[in-house]
Amino acid sequence: MSATVDVPLGRRIRPSRRPVVVGGTKHHVEAEAFSVFYGPKQAVCEVSLGIRAGHVTAIIGPSGCGKSTLLRAINRMNDLIPGCRTEGKLMLDGEDVCDPWIDVTSLRRRVGMVFQKPNPFPKSVYDNVAYGARIHGLRSRRRLTEIVERSLRRAALWDEVKDRLRLNALGLSGGQQQRLCIARAIAIEPEILLMDEPTSALDPQATTRIEDLIGELRGDYTVIIVTHNMQQAARISDFTAFLYEGDLIEFGPTMQMFTSPTERRTEDYISGRFG
């Protein structure tokens, strides 16, 4: 597969083979010439980048640019899609997550995920948060209750739901449901939290709460967030990656990306000229 792709505007973009290194040296997630294919269609083209531990990294780009695909490759959620395959390497702490022999269950335990639409189970609030711990074999009621309370506090939801832990989670508002999903994801203490447009289905107020929450999670978790919303990326992320038609166009500290992008396409996209 060719490493170069034709893009409009007549410029050829040659993705770098060398990982882009930003900031410090510890990379939690590292992609090396990583590609994803849906059947014959290439969704992610030889992307190489390194994501730093404990920071918030935003992936931006127009619809269909492969940002969700890249995100879902990290916890192997693409396995659900028939005909999906990968090339290149995607390393998590130096271990290739695309290796067919790795234990996907323990990978997903290390890499939590929050989805576009809030998707709590049709169970009680308590059972939702305790779900992950339970399937990983925790039976002690006392420990479970501890985990539920800690996770809900961490997701800034405890005060709102502490009196209705036994009620169905589907009775919560959209924003509460999304924070519940975050609590559910961090209840199993992952190292990385993937967020696939977590606020696109929420109203502005709920969005603000989620953004605040992401700010609080920074440092404890490596957060990778896909977003359509440029202001959101600028507000909450430390690093930003700009994807266009499967190619990584630019990757760097958010401040730098939004103030002085090196690529013209980045500038065009950020300033709203396309996408």
Partner 1 sequence: MQLGTRRLLDRAFSGLGITSILLLGASLLVILAPIVVRGLGAFVFGGTIEHRRLMLEKFGRGDRAQLDAQIAAAKRARQPVYDMIAAFEKELPRLDPARRRELRTSLKELEERIAILLEPAPGTSDPVLWRDQYGQTRWDRAQVKAHDVLFAEQYDYTDPTQMGKKVWVPRAKEFEGTCLAALFPYVQDNLDAMLKPRTTFYWRFLLDKSHDAHFFGGVGPEVLGTLYLAIGSMLFAIPMGVISAVYLVEYASEGRLVSTLRTFINTLAGVPSIVFALFGLAFFINAMHVSESKSVLAGSLTLGLLVLPIVIRASEEAIRAVPQSYREAALSLGAGKGRTVLTVILPAALPGVFTGIVISMGRAAGETAPIIFTAAVSMGNPLGLVETLSQPTPALPWNIYNLCTEHEAVDEIRHVQFGMVLTLVTLVLLLNGAAIVARARISKRLRA
Footprint on this chain of partner 1 (rule: CB under 8 A): 75, 77, 80, 82, 105-106, 108-109, 112-113, 115, 117, 119-123, 131-132, 135-136, 168, 170-171, 181, 184-185, 188
- 123 or 235: whose CB is closer to partner 1? 123
Structure tokens that stand for 188 in this block: 């199993």
C-beta of residue 88 within 8 angstroms of C-beta of residue 31: yes
Distances (CA, A) of 225 to 124, 128, 144, 166, 215: 27, 22, 28, 31, 12
- 192 or 213: whose CB is closer to partner 1? 192
C-beta of residue 52 within 8 angstroms of C-beta of residue 224: no
Shortest separation between residue 6's beta carbon and partner 1, angstroms: 34
Nearest CA-CA partner of 234 in 260, 255, 248: 255
- The distance of Cα 227 from the centroid of its chain, to the nearest Å, equals 9
CA angle 82, 88, 89 (to 5 degrees): 100
- 202 or 248: whose CB is closer to partner 1? 202
Shortest separation between residue 108's beta carbon and partner 1, angstroms: 4
- 58 or 169: whose CB is closer to partner 1? 169
- 173 or 256: whose CB is closer to partner 1? 173
Place of tokens 């590292």: 30
Shortest separation between residue 168's beta carbon and partner 1, angstroms: 5
| Residues forming a β-bridge with 222 | 192
